Structure 1
Amino acid sequence: MVCDMSPAFLAVVDENFPEASVTVDWFHVVQLFTTALDDVRKAEVRMVKMPAAVRWAVLKARESNLTPKQEAALAELKAGGLLTAVAWQIKEKLRWVRLATTPQGRTLAPLALPLSCP
């Protein structure tokens, strides 16, 4: 059964199809991780000054065209050892898993990512 992560949907599936496996669509998984990343950033920005460009830099795909300010903001974020950098790395790992084309690639993608993320 494919559905979103709404507790109401999950309860109905569990009640009516107790033997069914639930598969959550990627849109909702990505949305969950992106929201969590932004929540971490918002909480941390109240305690630590961050460049304004961090907001959009961490939400964009790493391979997308980051502006020079966004590139600098990511570099500063990585150097600062902030939780936002860790949350960003987790979001990027999820993207690698999603973009992998084989089951083996999905297994190996998170292992390769530390080579390219903070």
Structure 2
Amino acid sequence: MRKVVVVTGASSGVGLALCKRLLEEDDELHMCLACRNVGKAEAVRAALLAAHPAAEVSVVQVDVSNLRSVIRAARELKQRFQRLDYVYLNAGIMPNPQLNIKALFSGLFSS
């Protein structure tokens, strides 16, 4: 069974470089590109498959600065895959001074 790898921010920069490097090491991976821009991610997917035809590469849309998007993407990943072997949280977010982190986590993890 292929190892499943999820990389956020995989369509450019460090995330893209990481995907390329991981596939150079093991092109039997299932690489899941977690990106905001699906069009850009699909172009990266095509390029990765051209360079590593034995790999499996898929795309999931996620905006890590949007909690609803993160929850939707998590549900989608859970539905698609039995397990995730590696998750690289590369995508960055800018802190929102209006966001109360303590209240957010309290709401997420309270019963």
- TM-score, normalization by structure 1: 0.32
Greater RCO (CA < 8 Å, at least 6 residues apart): 2
Give the structure with the larger strand fraction: 2
